[in-house]
Amino acid sequence: MSWPDPISIETVLERSFVLPAPFYERAPEVVARGLLGKIVVHGRTAGRIVEAEAYLGVQDRAAHASRGITNRTRVLFGPPAHAYVYLIYGMYECLNFVAEPEGQAGCILIRALEPMCGLETMRKRRPAARKPEHLCSGPGKLTLAMGITRALNGAPLTRGELTVREMGGEGKFEIAVSPRINVTECADWPLRFFVAGNAFVSKRQ
DNA sequence: CAATAGATCATCT
DNA sequence: GATGATCTATTGC
């Protein structure tokens, strides 16, 4: 039993373009919505974003940025279109994209991907996954499957080994909204966005 | 199916 | 020294 790629990495690279930096230079909730359907590429693995959460600046007590600038949160206050990767619960890494103009904090947590390329590589990295739907259906899962680590903290998303792309021919899809998962502060803010009905999101909808 | 315990550590108080 | 933007295995229905 093998899990074939729905599309080859070569085709993805040919038919897509890298999202330009100004795309990220907006409010996190706007960027989060816009990121749904876009493609994260790292090496020969790629996945379509189907779930993302917005984290705002100082006014959002659930956001790391609410504590101000520290060693960890420095990149959150830096220029947009860069990766913010941190360790959570001592075991897993979470991938975020920095939003807002430089000097202003805000980011988007990528919570789930629909795997497109490198499924077999992902499966080797995540033996516990029994179906493709389990490969990237959570923030800790997708970083493992894609091979993304803190070494990429602060890396640009517009060039280099980690990029985010848009591919034409994307059909329309419905966007659903809910409160963010596992946050205790600002727990009722509707800042989680996902593709309605998609089987690859992290929790039941 | 749902609920829960345990693993494990950088970060900030 | 307490606390997580989590995942998995296990238990119990």
* Partner residues linked to A131 by β-bridges: none
Q: Is the CB of A134 under 7 A from strand C?
A: yes
Please indicate, yes or no, if residue A32 is contained in any of the structural domains.
yes
* The total number of structural domains that make up chain A: 1
d(CA A18, CA A201): 24
Chain A 107-126, CB < 7 Å to strand C: 107, 109, 126
The closest alpha carbon to A91, from A143, A32, A153, belongs to: A143
Q: Distance, angstroms, CA A54 to C1' C9?
A: 31
> What is the structure's pLDDT at A171?
85
- On whether residue A121 sits in a domain, the answer given is yes
This prediction's pTM: 0.96
pLDDT in tens, A96-108: 999 999 999 999 9
Which pLDDT belongs to residue A205?
Answer: 59
A142 falls within a domain:
yes
Write the CATH number for A46: 3.10.300.10
Q: Which residues does chain A have with pLDDT short of 70?
A: 204-205
Specify if A201 maps to a domain.
no
- pLDDT for A151 equals 96
Q: Distance of CA A203 to CAs A1, A43, A161, A169, A197, Å?
A: 26, 27, 29, 27, 11
* Per-residue flag: A100 CB under 7 A of strand C: no
Structural contact between residues A116 and A47, judged by C-beta atoms closer than 8 angstroms: yes
Residue ranges near strand B (C-beta within 7 Å) = A 64, 67, 70-73, 86-87, 89-91, 204
What pLDDT score does A204 carry? Answer: 59
* pLDDT tens, position by position, A118-158: 999 999 999 999 999 999 999 999 999 999 999 999 999 99
Q: Which domain holds residue A138?
A: 9-195
Residue A126: the pLDDT is 94
Q: How far is the CA of A91 from the C1' of B7 (A)?
A: 8
